[in-house]
Structure 1
């Protein structure tokens, strides 16, 4: 059995999940082994899973209290139903994170080029840290009617990885955008996916304009 994910796609996913857990110092990154990155990624997934479940429980409690403490009318029922629906979606998100936590080490173990997975994941993380200021300026200019620091952290990191690949890692713009959208399908929501796609399209257009394309 072989991994259906290409080494670079696995490396992007690994970089995204371990980015917040790994030191950005070049000398430290160079020493990181593949297992270090996997452990860091699993920590991130565990934290997201716990947060989703805690929020889901809070929504169920809120919905239950609203039904108990208010008169049973259409507005109250509708509100409580919305809370329960939100709780179900959050629980599903936590289950998906659990599935990813199980699958990720398997994908990496089955990858034919595990050395490439490690080296490219480290290269992405190192580049994002070293070029963070430049990357964030570019992204801030491409975000319409919003601020980069107000985006969910996972969305910011997906964007940063894509820009790092386009500008500093010689990845074709369309490939980087497509891969960012794929990451967003797994780790963001529909709104985040659309925002990421739109922001990166504007970044690409700006790069092409500067290049005189």
Structure 2
């Protein structure tokens, strides 16, 4: 997997945000640190759940193969049972592949750099949530932020936080948000998130241009008085 520390930190922050109630209010640093720990525990539990589900699917696949030999009344029935067994086996293999990757992610979350950045993201989101959500409301077309899936809202919040309050390059923040969406959102969620964030960038750039123009006008006014 070889994830960069900040990519892992974003994932940890996203899982941390999912631990918070919708209207969490202002939280202390210690509370946010506990949220990070809860997110790591969630990852560990997920590994166990995935492996248990995979084991159950392998057992069901084995039962189908056995039934195809014992109880199938014709070739077509046997073929159908074998096909179902193969599909169950493939699903189980895919789940195991995911479970194999997660321990590395959990190990990376133990790095101080990862936890510190995840905590910084959580803190900035928590401290600036109203401003972040207002910007998102202005950038979401024909939809209300309250009706979005929670995971999509949190991915958007992380990206906007990185752009506005941490100083991450806008394209980097968008790219990382798209990666998170591909992992955690719906099949087409990443396209929606990419579109919203590009509109966010346009709004941020517009505000920056207005501020720069006001600054120039102010400086010219001072020079004229001199």
- TM more than 0.5: yes
Does structure 1 residue 17 correspond to structure 2 residue 15? yes
Aligned partner of 2:139 among 142, 155, 158: 142
Contact 2:19 2:35 in 1 (8 A): no
**Counterpart Cα distance in 2 of 1:33 and 1:151:** 23
1:106 maps to which residue?
Answer: 104
Task: Measure how far apart 1:157 and its partner are.
Answer: 0.3
Decide whether aligned partners of structure 1 residues 206 and 186 sit closer, same or farther in structure 2, where only a CA change above 3 A counts. Answer: same
1:182 maps to which residue?
Answer: 179
Decide whether aligned partners of structure 1 residues 103 and 202 sit closer, same or farther in structure 2, where only a CA change above 3 A counts. Answer: same
What's the Cα RMSD here? 3.2
Aligned residue pairs total 167
Task: Measure how far apart 1:33 and its partner are.
Answer: 8.8
**Counterpart Cα distance in 1 of 2:118 and 2:35:** 11
**Counterpart Cα distance in 1 of 2:172 and 2:11:** 15
TM-score calculated relative to the size of structure 2 = 0.63
Which is higher, the Rg of structure 1 or of structure 2? 2
**Counterpart Cα distance in 2 of 1:164 and 1:120:** 12
Aligned partner of 1:168 among 148, 159, 165: 165
**Counterpart Cα distance in 1 of 2:198 and 2:93:** 31
Does structure 1 residue 121 correspond to structure 2 residue 118? yes
Task: Measure how far apart 1:110 and its partner are.
Answer: 5.0
**Counterpart Cα distance in 2 of 1:136 and 1:168:** 14
Question: Matches of residues 1-213 of structure 1 in structure 2 within 5 Å?
Answer: 4-22=2-20, 25-29=27-31, 31-32=33-34, 35-41=37-43, 100=98, 103-110=101-108, 114-212=111-209
Decide whether aligned partners of structure 1 residues 18 and 144 sit closer, same or farther in structure 2, where only a CA change above 3 A counts. Answer: same
Contact 1:184 1:193 in 2 (8 A): yes
Decide whether aligned partners of structure 1 residues 33 and 202 sit closer, same or farther in structure 2, where only a CA change above 3 A counts. Answer: closer
Q: Which segments of 5 or more consecutive residues in structure 2 lack a partner in the other structure?
A: 51-86, 213-226
Deviates more, 1:15-24 or 1:180-189: 15-24
Deviates more, 1:182-191 or 1:30-39: 30-39
